[in-house]
Amino acid sequence: MSDPTEIANLQAMAAQLAHPSGAAGTAIAANMNVANARLAERAIAALAVLPGQSVVEIGPGNGRLSMDLVRRLGEGGRYTAIELSPDMARECQTHLAGLSSCAVTVINADCRAAALTPASADAVFGTNFVYFLDDLTQFLQSAYRWLKPGGRLVIGIRSKTAMAALPFTPFGFRLREASEIVAAMAALGWREIRDEYHDDEGEREINGLVVKVDAHVISGNK
């Protein structure tokens, strides 16, 4: 790739995916809701949460893919979002607050530095956020600290092979094999770790490239 304009466009896209902002960020978030709806659905299903429980989500974007979850948590439930982008945090608050009797809190912060009460969450989850973590272990330690005994962590990602085929991932994305995440969790004492692989989403055209869409849903218990 040698076209400076093309490189600049891909860098801009990668930056928006990592930290959506402005009108371009709003558009990116809407597109990602379409692209990642099935992955988010699978991750939320793997949480197996019950009404009244407490859930923390990492990087919910504009929050639209979490609306059903907030409704399900209902009265006595607590949903906490940790979102790095100020614009997305505001949109998430708008879309989810008052949606049900579930208490909604949106924190504009880096997930590795968020000050959550230890042993306060029944579940922690997120999709497609680990590409932007330079220190996976630090996040896994934080999630472990936030969870109640027996609490559950779920991470949804695309495979390293699928992500590497995308033209913007060389610009700031940290791609990991699912096995690397599983190994990191095991080293920190997570229990009942599972990696469920799905390849039934077909193919998608992105920037003129036809890319296979797959998913890993990785889970473990404290």
- Residue pLDDT, tens place only, 74-126: 999 999 999 999 999 999 999 999 999 999 999 999 998 899 999 999 999 99
Residue whose tokens read 């409704």? 71
CB 19 within 8 A of CB 44: no
Q: How far apart are CA 77 and CA 27, in angstroms?
A: 30
**In which domain, by residue range, is 88 found?**
4-221
Strands 147-157 and 215-221 come out as antiparallel
Instruction: Please state at what angle helix 22-47 crosses helix 4-18, rounded to 10 degrees.
Output: 50
CB 164 within 8 A of CB 170: no
**CATH number, domain at 31?**
3.40.50.150
Among 102, 111, 197, 191, smallest CA distance to 153 is for 191
If DSSP codes are grouped into helix, strand and coil, which group holds residue 214? coil
Cα Rg of the chain (Å, integer): 17
Q: How far apart are CA 163 and CA 174, in angstroms?
A: 10
Phi-psi region of 56 (alpha: psi -120 to 50; beta: other; left: phi over 0): beta
Phi-psi region of 76 (alpha: psi -120 to 50; beta: other; left: phi over 0): left
What pLDDT score was predicted for residue 204? 78
Residues of the chain with pLDDT under 70: 1-2, 206-208
Number of domains in the chain: 1
Distance set, CA 149 to CA 38, 43, 118, 123 (Å): 29, 20, 10, 10
Burial of 23 (0-12, 13-18, 19+ CB in 10 A): exposed
What pLDDT score was predicted for residue 113? 84
What pLDDT score was predicted for residue 53? 99
Q: How far apart are CA 168 and CA 28, in angstroms?
A: 13
The number of CA neighbours under 13 Å toward the Cβ of 128 is: 25
Q: How far apart are CA 100 and CA 1, in angstroms?
A: 48
What pLDDT score was predicted for residue 207? 60
